[in-house]
Amino acid sequence: MRDRLITALVGLTLAVIVLYAVPRAYMLADRVQTSAAQQTERSADLVAAVLTERSRSGGIGEQDLAELAGDGELLVHRDADGGVLASTGSAGAHAADIVETRSLPDGTTVALTRTGASVSERITEAVMPLVLIGLVLVVLAAVAAVLLARRLARPFQQLADAARRLGDGTFTLPPLDSTLPEARAVGVALRTSSRQLEALLHRERQFAANASHQLRTPLTALRLELEDLTYWPETAPAVSEQLGRALGELDRLSGTVTELLEHSRGRRLERPVPVDLALLTAESAERWDRQAGAEGRTVTAMAPRPARVRTHPGLLQQILDVLIHNALRHGRGAVRVRARDARTHWAITVQDEGDRPADQGIFDRHVSTREGGEGIGLTVAAELAESLGGSLTLESTPTTTFLLRLPPSGATTAVPAAG
């Protein structure tokens, strides 16, 4: 903004100066040219009169011409045939030369030439003050433009700083002291928005805390009851084994609740740890394969060995659960989970045999790949993928294929909680 203001003001000043100074310079040059021509005529008349008197009293020599010639003037005395009898000064022909010729009573002629160089010098002397005034005006305009631009840009810089502080999570913004009504209006709007965002964030934090307590308490009670059932003598070994698997799923669910709540609060993730993608994808496929088998479908996993990457296994497992569940609920046929090393990143695909859905807004909240879904699972999965430093996209294939990209380093992009 500051640079544009300076450029505009200086450009406007230059335009005004050019529109005024250029015609004025032409007028001055024409006036000097006319004055020089008139002066040359008068000088030629005077020289002719003096030389006429001297020709009567004696001859005309170069000394007489030298005494009559002024600065920047040439005098040539010629006979009736055009031969040069005497002259003073020398110069080449110039388009701006002013020549006046007078005939003397004895039949000779005298030519007075005012050189173009002298005329140009007089024009330069006349125009130079105009040029200097223009340069001074340009400098003054530039200084005024800088001062004005700083004054006008200062409140908007304060607004930009306030917006950055608001983006960093600082909701207490200082009042904006500006004489510009537009800047004051923007400042009031920013402070109002900051108070609303602070209230919204406070409500969301309270909800996260309440949800954490309300979810963990029944999960803990349920785990204790299931664990107690496993120790009953009346519990059959097969049932006890099933209860053990249920306890594992319950622990995983509890961990998932904790991680999602921490993620929703904007907490920074813990350091990534080495994860075997082959083992993790195989465990996810095996867990969902039991449920898919009841519907006559299969869930398989394939990954090279070794397939190790530094990441957060809990969040990665949640992403895979969302994608496999989405494939079982909305897709058809077998579900295949594949992991491969793409050199620049690790690629994990979850593919089923159903038709590819329209990808417009598929990762937006309340948008589902098929009718009947709430549309939040894919949104959460995409957000979790970004927190892992990767991305989740829908591939351009005939069947439904989701691609999860993970960086080899496992760097995360989660932001710490504001305030």
Whether 164 is in a domain gets the answer: no
Integer Cα distance of 351 and 400 in angstroms: 6
Shared domain for 100 and 79, answered yes or no, is yes
Does 231 lie in the same domain as 205? yes
CA distance 393 to 399: 14
Specify whether 124 is located in the same domain as 245. Answer: no
Structure token digits, residue 313: 């296994």
Q: Is residue 411 part of a domain?
A: no
Q: What is the pLDDT along the chain (419 residues), one digit of tens a residue?
A: 667 777 777 788 888 888 877 888 888 888 888 888 888 888 888 888 888 877 777 777 777 777 777 777 888 888 888 887 788 876 556 666 788 888 888 888 888 888 777 778 888 888 888 888 888 888 888 888 888 777 777 777 777 777 777 776 676 777 766 677 777 777 777 778 787 877 777 776 666 666 666 666 676 667 767 776 777 777 777 777 777 777 777 776 776 666 666 655 555 456 788 888 889 999 889 888 888 888 889 999 998 877 888 888 888 888 998 899 999 988 999 999 999 988 888 999 999 998 888 776 788 765 444 444 445 788 888 888 888 889 999 998 899 999 999 987 544 444 333 33
Task: Please check whether residues 101 and 36 belong to one and the same domain.
Answer: yes
- Domain identity same for 122 and 215: no
Claim to verify: residue 402 and residue 275 sit in the same structural domain: yes
Residue 241 resides in a domain? yes
Residues 257 and 275 in one domain: no
Which of 261, 280, 308 marks a domain boundary? 261
Domains in the chain: how many in total? 3
Question: Long-range contacts of range 370-376, CB-CB < 8 Å, 24 or more positions apart?
Answer: 370/329, 370/330, 373/326, 373/329, 373/330
The reply to whether 284 and 395 lie within a common domain is: yes
Structural domain includes residue 166: no
With the C-alpha atoms ordered 225, 230, 231, 235, is the resulting torsion angle positive or negative? positive
Q: Which of the listed residues 111, 128, 145 is the one where a domain comes to its end?
A: 128
Please check whether residue 149 lies inside any domain of the structure. Answer: no
Say which CATH number the domain at 22 has: 3.30.450.250
In terms of Cα–Cα distance, which of 288, 227, 286 is closest to 254?
A: 227
Cα–chain center distance at 150: 21
**Residues 23 and 86 placed together within one structural domain of the fold:** yes
- Say if 151 falls within a structural domain: no
Q: Torsion angle, CA of 8/13/16/20, rounded to 10 degrees?
A: -160
Bridge partners (DSSP) listed for residue 331: none
Establish if 217 belongs to a structural domain: yes
The domain spanning residue 198 has which CATH number?
A: 1.10.287
Structural domain containing residue 381 = 271-406
* Within a domain: 226: yes
Q: Which of 128, 160, 191 is the last residue of a domain?
A: 128
> What contacts 217, CB < 8 A, 6 or more positions away?
none
